[in-house]
Amino acid sequence: MEHWFTDIAQALVNWLMGLGLSAGWADFVLLIVQWLCIVMIVTINVIILIWLERKVSGFIQLRLGPNRLGPYGAFQTIADAIKLLTKEDIIPSRTDKWIFMTAPLFFIVVSVMLYAVIPMGDGMQVVDFNVGLLYFISIGSLSTICLLMAGWGSNNKWSMLGAMRAVAQMISYEIPLAISLLGVVMIAGSLRLSDIVVAQGNIWFVLLQPIAFITYFIAATAELNRGPFDMPEAEQELTAGAYTEYTGMRWALFFLAEYTNLVAVSALCATMFFGGWQGPGLPSWLWIIIKTYLIMLVFMWMKWTFPRIRMDHLMSFSWKILLPVSLANLVLTGFGLEFFKWMGWW
Amino acid sequence: MYGKGLLKGLWITFKHSFEKKDLVVRYPEQMPHLQERFRGSLAFDFEKCIACGICIRNCPNNVLSMETAKDEDSKKKKLMQYTIDLQYCMFCNLCVEDCPTNSLYFTHDFELSQFHRDDIKRVYHRPPELDQQEAAQKTSDQDTQTAADDKKEKQLRAMINAINKNPQKVLARVLDGEEQVEVLAAVLMADEKKLARMAEMMITDKEKAKKVALAFVKKELKEREKGGDQ
Amino acid sequence: MDISLADLAFIILAGFTLLTALGVVLFKNIVHSAIMLVFSFLGVAGIYFTMHAGFLGLVQILVYAGAISVLIIFAIMLVMNQDPEKTNLPSPNIPNIMAGTYLTILLVGALVGSIWFTSFPEKVAPVSGDELGLLTGLMLGDYVIPLELAALLLLVAVVGAIILARGAEHK
Amino acid sequence: MIGLTHYLILATLLFGIGLFGVLAKRSAIAVLMAVELMLNAVNINFVAINKYVVPDTGVGQLFALFVIVVAAAEVAVGLALIINIFRQKKSVNLHDFNLLKW
């Protein structure tokens, strides 16, 4: 159970080497296979997640949620996906065609690229990058460009406003996000995500860094344009922000990318603060799935509980509260570490 | 404490998500409970309609239309076909409210979607048995009506005669006081029309007759007083 | 000719970078130019990766592609007051363009020639793999004062940019 | 085999493209973007020479890092200046920026 996937990967590499490929090319083929696996995981996850989101929102609002197709409405998302795939792809005539058409593709590519460094089990990492955390943050920052492209390409004032808001918000919240994660990095002493997981063998970092966890969680919610921070989409005022003009599959790609980002950020949260794939009894890949889903449930819970925050409040919250708090946490962590070393407890 | 409200909100939604969801009606399996005055779809009762056209004039959206033909012998309008084009209906109830014979009414059937546009239109053709029924009724009606009229006429005449002959005795059935009866008799003798009306009322509705009689008496007494003063 | 995977990666990335860079200069629509600029930055980050400078490549993505280009696109949208198809035209006086072209060709030709015919004292890299440790050692060791000065420069630049962009308040 | 020469030639070409942009463009923002390309070319040089000539230190990478920092500051101030001038001249055309030319 524990080593299923790593064994399969090893067997594939061995077989390819047996066919006469050099080690580099065999690794390259393995990379492509892993990438395909990630795309599959993402798609399946999104199908489950949309169903879960609708169910959770229904339960919170005293409704039943989807309950028609299949047991507890489980096949509803599949039906929706088929509908979206077969819908007409409308490209409005006065858009900036190429930007409009490629924005969702870049968005989904960027979202899928996030998964390259997340340890999805013991030794189950596509690339064990020595600056994995920095990779995650910097690739995550690319999604702002995609939103800006979508907003500009649509040639629609609501889309443009939504994109502007999204970008302003994402750039502002990226800073507290990164700084709150730095506290964890200081304790673990590495930017490599597998090292950070191993460093949590005795105690989860959420207990050592509660303030960092809270600031990370809030900043991640804003970064995902979710929950109380969904000003960029704001259906009631901007119809759907940057996604207004999109139809069919292109719109579905945006949706897919949003949920992909949600899974990635939750998985990073589990890795950074909740011990990653470590856990008793069950195999490691199951542990990270359980932790990720629990964190995502909290994200959904928050989204369906809190009303949307006003734009100026949102920005001032980031710059005037979240950033100073995370900086203070960083300073506190440094002093704490030195203190522990001085006392000889570390 | 800062953020107390947020935690409270989270707790409320958490509780809600485990409550029983009995607010929801699972519709196709379980029909919703509709109120008595719920306006589902508009229906028409052909037999009650008198083809007056009030409904058509009232309709703001031109939902309703009808075809009529002149009946040769009675020169009455005869309804041939009645159409409700339900796709334009906004269920304002103006037709139903003003229908004098209640031939239009709302039913509780709310499943109105159709596959084709033409299926939304409801066309009511004149049922053939209505013509037969009408023809049969016409002959029997005439007989019974004339017989009834004759009987009424006879009764009325008999009553008028009775009042003329013996006013005190007959009118005592209506009024109690002797003086009042006398006054009433005087009034009735003086006016032929009042007499006929009184007689008719005494046959059909005694209570009403009593009230009218009292009113007559009061008026007469007042006039007399006035005359006395002068 | 035997091409290894690393060589192939370099060729693809170099071609991509140069093409997108040409796009930045040649497109007529300045928004397209800006988006090409993003891709060019990403290509340069890829070039850093082929040189095993992972940290620098990620900083390139984070700062250039994630922040500077967004800043540029924002500024473009703020100053856009005409048909977007005519926002990035070449200079109106022909001598400028001619001079630019000649100068560029001369410089590039001279440089490429001199680079091609020079033999550099190349050393084989010791495979340490800990380029991050090396960098941090330098940053917080010998070059700590430049680092702090750079931080100060950033602070001053941000404050100055805010004051400039808000404009003088009329009293 | 890819070596230092190829990296330097790539950097030169990139620098040339940037130089052409600086000299032949009309819009101030386009010029700024071309300057960014030139800075990137310089950074490639730093890193390449660091890797192939002095591989046992990280000074080239560190200097590339400083260049990135300076570039960020430069873009922020430059764009603020352009926006400020745009407010007064309603144009980003460099030929309208001739206040200091007498």
3-state helix/strand/coil string of A67-103:
CCCCHHHCCHHHHHHHHHHHCCCCCCCCCCHHHHHHH
Of B21, B74, B25, B85, nearest in space to B51 by CA: B74
Confidence of residue A346 (pLDDT cuts 50, 70, 90): low
Query: Which residues of chain A are within 8 Å of residue C70 when distances are taken between CB atoms?
Result: 144-145, 148, 167, 171
Name A116's Cβ contacts closer than 8 Å, sequence gap at least 6. Answer: A38, A126, A127, A129, A135
From A59-63, A189-193, C131-135, D80-84, the region with the lowest mean pLDDT: C131-135
- Strands, DSSP E only, in B48-110? 64-70, 77-85, 104-107
What DSSP character marks residue A118?
-
> Do at least 3 CB pairs under 8 Å connect C with D?
yes
pLDDT surpasses 80 at B114: yes
* Separation in Å, CA of A226 to nearest CA in chain B: 16
**At B70, which helix (H) or strand (E)?**
strand B64-70
* Separation in Å, CA of C66 to nearest CA in chain A: 5
Mean pLDDT over each residue of chain B, to the nearest integer:
80
What DSSP character marks residue B106?
E
pTM score, two decimals? 0.74
> Residue C19, SS3?
helix
Q: What is the pLDDT of residue C152?
A: 92
In terms of domains, do C88 and C5 share one?
A: yes
pLDDT surpasses 60 at C171: no
Higher per-residue confidence, A113 vs B229:
A113
Q: What average pLDDT does this structure show over A260-265?
A: 89
Q: Are the C-beta atoms of residues A118 and A264 closer than 8 Å to each other?
A: yes
Q: What is the pLDDT of residue C40?
A: 92
Side chain identity at residue A265, one-letter code? V
Q: Could you give the percent of chain A with pLDDT greater than 90?
A: 1
Dump pLDDT digits (tens) for B68-97. 888 776 677 788 888 888 888 888 889 888
Q: Is C3 exposed, middle or buried (0-12, 13-18, 19+ CB in 10 A)?
A: exposed
In terms of domains, do C70 and C134 share one?
A: no
- Sheet of B121-125: strands edge to edge? B64-70, B77-85, B121-125
pLDDT surpasses 60 at C1: no
Of D62, D43, A116, nearest in space to C64 by CA: D43
- Planar angle of CA D64, C67, C72, nearest 5 degrees: 105
> Residue C102, SS3?
helix
Pick the CATH number of D4-96 from 3.30.930.10, 3.40.605.10, 1.10.287.3510, 3.90.180.10: 1.10.287.3510
Confidence of residue A152 (pLDDT cuts 50, 70, 90): confident
pLDDT surpasses 70 at C75: yes
Test the A interface: residue of B16, B18, B25, B26 with most A CBs within 10 Å: B16
What DSSP character marks residue A9?
H
| Domains annotated on chain B, with CATH | 34-132 (3.30.70.3270), 148-225 (no CATH)
Of C11, B78, C88, nearest in space to D30 by CA: C88
Whole-angstrom distance, CA of residue C134 vs CA of residue C57: 16
User: How far does CA C166 lie from the centroid of its chain?
Assistant: 27
Whole-angstrom distance, CA of residue A173 vs CA of residue A218: 9
Q: Residue A203 is encoded by which pair of tokens?
A: 């105690």
Are C10 and D2 inside 8 Å of each other by CB?
yes
Name the residue ranges covered by the structural domains of chain A.
87-343
In chain C, the number of structural domains is: 2
Interface residues on B facing A, Cβ-Cβ cutoff 8 A: 6, 9-10, 12-14, 16-19, 21, 23-24, 26
Q: Are the C-beta atoms of residues C97 and C91 closer than 8 Å to each other?
A: yes
Whole-angstrom distance, CA of residue A70 vs CA of residue A76: 8
**At C118, which helix (H) or strand (E)?**
none
Q: Could you give the percent of chain B with pLDDT greater than 90?
A: 0
Dump pLDDT digits (tens) for C90-148. 767 777 778 878 888 888 888 888 888 877 777 666 656 667 777 888 888 888 898 89
Are C47 and D7 inside 8 Å of each other by CB?
yes
Mean pLDDT over each residue of chain C, to the nearest integer:
82
CA C9, C13, C15, C19: dihedral to nearest 10 degrees?
Answer: 160
What DSSP character marks residue C61?
I
- Planar angle of CA B22, B24, B27, nearest 5 degrees: 130
Q: Are the C-beta atoms of residues B37 and B97 closer than 8 Å to each other?
A: no
In terms of domains, do C83 and C136 share one?
A: no
Are C122 and D4 inside 8 Å of each other by CB?
yes
Q: Are the C-beta atoms of residues A287 and A277 closer than 8 Å to each other?
A: yes
Q: Are the C-beta atoms of residues D28 and D97 closer than 8 Å to each other?
A: yes
Q: What average pLDDT does this structure show over A198-208?
A: 81
Q: Are the C-beta atoms of residues A86 and A234 closer than 8 Å to each other?
A: no
> Would residue C102 count as lying in a domain?
no
Confidence of residue A204 (pLDDT cuts 50, 70, 90): confident
D80 and C CB contact within 8 Å:
yes
Give the residues of chain D that fall short of pLDDT 70: 1, 101-102
Whole-angstrom distance, CA of residue A315 vs CA of residue A168: 8
Q: Which of C17, C56, C123 sits opposite D55 (nearest CB)?
A: C123
Whole-angstrom distance, CA of residue C15 vs CA of residue D10: 9
| φ, ψ for residue C90, nearest 5 deg | -70, 165
Q: Residue B208 is encoded by which pair of tokens?
A: 């009403």
Are C54 and A142 inside 8 Å of each other by CB?
no
CA A163, A164, A165, A166: dihedral to nearest 10 degrees?
Answer: 50
Which residues constitute the domain of residue C61?
1-92
Q: Are the C-beta atoms of residues A163 and A151 closer than 8 Å to each other?
A: yes
From A120-124, A266-270, B84-88, D69-73, the region with the lowest mean pLDDT: A120-124
In terms of domains, do C73 and C137 share one?
A: no
Q: How many CA atoms lie within 13 A of A316 on its CB side?
A: 5
